[in-house]
Amino acid sequence: MLMPRIQQHFVGGADLQYQCAQALGPALEAAAATLLQGLTSGGKVLVWGSGAAAALAQAFVAQLVGRFERERPELAALALGTNPVLASTSPTLAEAAAWPTLRQLRALGLPGDVLVLLGAGQPGPDALALVQAAHEREMAVVALTGARAGELPDTLRDADVWVAVPTERPARVLEAQLVALHALCDALDAQLLGDDDMETASA
């Protein structure tokens, strides 16, 4: 019978969401403050997602540039890695996985901008190279990962924010990250537009 297995996806997902509500609240509040500071100071948000998280990156950017649940002025955001970039030189081995995304960040990133990294698995050399490039441009970094973050936490600075979903299962990480991104969109709207009733917000 497949029914119990199917139902367990919803039960397990709901249990993790409850854990995240408690565990990720402070980090998400800090991430919202970092994003707000960058956007209201004339900066922009550059978002990159690894693997399946690339879809989350594009969805997050669409909600920043367009809208989440309320109408508001457009927020400056761009998903990295979605437009081809012609490379004039060859990447190093450490940069290869992020190429041409790394060139996009180097071309577009400015001091005061924010880099948002998304990934369900352990971050690889591509993520580390992007963080390094962001720091070289005096950008803040908001990293959303699962429990397996590898060397990434060691590369982050005091001004950066790390949001770690407390599971190593990629599917659950992606589900929790979607809710986390929605929470960030709502937090930005609340700061920019004022509080509203979350339950009655227009779709």
Domain annotation covers residue 48: yes
- Please state, in angstroms and rounded to a whole number, the distance separating the CA atoms of residues 85 and 88: 9
- Please state, in angstroms and rounded to a whole number, the distance separating the CA atoms of residues 7 and 135: 44
Its pTM stands at: 0.88
Domain annotation covers residue 31: yes
Amino acid in the structure at residue 60: F
Domain annotation covers residue 203: no
Domain annotation covers residue 95: yes
Domain annotation covers residue 51: yes
pLDDT average, residue stretch 88-97: 50
Domain annotation covers residue 144: yes
How many structural domains comprise the chain? 1
Confidence of residue 17 (pLDDT cuts 50, 70, 90): very high
- Please state, in angstroms and rounded to a whole number, the distance separating the CA atoms of residues 203 and 184: 16
Domain annotation covers residue 182: yes
Range of the domain at 167: 9-193
CATH number, domain containing residue 149: 3.40.50.10490
The per-residue pLDDT for range 144-162, each reduced to its tens digit, is: 999 999 999 999 999 999 9
- Please state, in angstroms and rounded to a whole number, the distance separating the CA atoms of residues 75 and 153: 28
2: left (phi over 0), alpha (psi -120 to 50) or beta: alpha
Which of 128, 102, 129, 131 has its CA nearest to residue 115?
Answer: 131
The per-residue pLDDT for range 125-147, each reduced to its tens digit, is: 999 999 999 999 999 999 999 99
Domain annotation covers residue 198: no
